[in-house]
Chains A and B, each alone.
Chain A
């Protein structure tokens, strides 16, 4: 509810790149031979208090990483799905951006898209989503998702409009270090191959 999807759309228009969001999960579900619902339920759901990093969850994370890596081999991409900063950590040429927005703004955005909800329900929902994501990232990657050092750039929509955030990120990604050179492309292909191998091993186990 921070405007990530809209920002990704703006960047895709400005840069002429394709976008990819949660639909990566569909491809990942196919690769491990389960339905999207089952996949989402087991992979995305926030772990309970006693939940541990199960092999199944690990396999699903590898499936998402492999699907995302395949997308990267096709060239430029704007990804706005789950935990891109961790899934593409090994890759050069990736600009990792975190978008933050005041809770009031996020609650308002949620209420706009869910008019039947009350203010209190919307606030609870946004808070729960944040908590779930924190727990999920801590369990999966042993990291604090709010830690700015995990990202190259953090953009706050408190005062910056979506268009301004888009222009700023476009400037950041236009820096030479984010250009897909032949060298970077080779590393992307090698990364995708490593992901496929790891996933095949996880499925075999």
Chain B
């Protein structure tokens, strides 16, 4: 049994056309930037394909995640609050906006902001257009996470605030939001990983994140195996620890909030 499986992998290994020189001298320098070559890797390469950036394509991907997620966290909260206001008109408008954003593909939105915007006098750089699209898209998702978490805080908490005469703003940010936070964290973590894995869509407007660089290398050398495998492994290597850290953080917040014994 084990012999058969072992043989299978040996055969796959023999058939797999894998070029370590390409990985060392092109793929890794472009993905990880000058940091990689400065450390002393790629020393044996005659002509390593240097990245211009210090942290290479990975740096751009992580920057996109950080900026996009930051926008989404804040705008998502604004969307969620907008749906809770007493004004029927405002909450309806925000509701429909969220529904609209959620119901169209991210890649279409990225194209639209970047290519159609200029026709209306809105010319944005790839980075600004990309961050706007990805930030708003995930803001719509996050607003639903926030909304669910805020609704899950018992109505009695707000009533206690009214009974104690606590002002509305303090009631919301000091009493309701802290209780909603542990409830929102699983969903928030989910979309952090989601946004990370959706950054490749930014390649369509020329943001030099990992996928953009990967396809460039692929078409230049007409070899995709190495670069796509490495990119996939980088995503995997970062997603899994992020998920674990988020879980630990959630437990920490719950204990800190006195939510568990």
| Chains A and B are bound partners | no
Residues of B within 8 A of A (CB): none
Residues of A within 8 A of B (CB): none
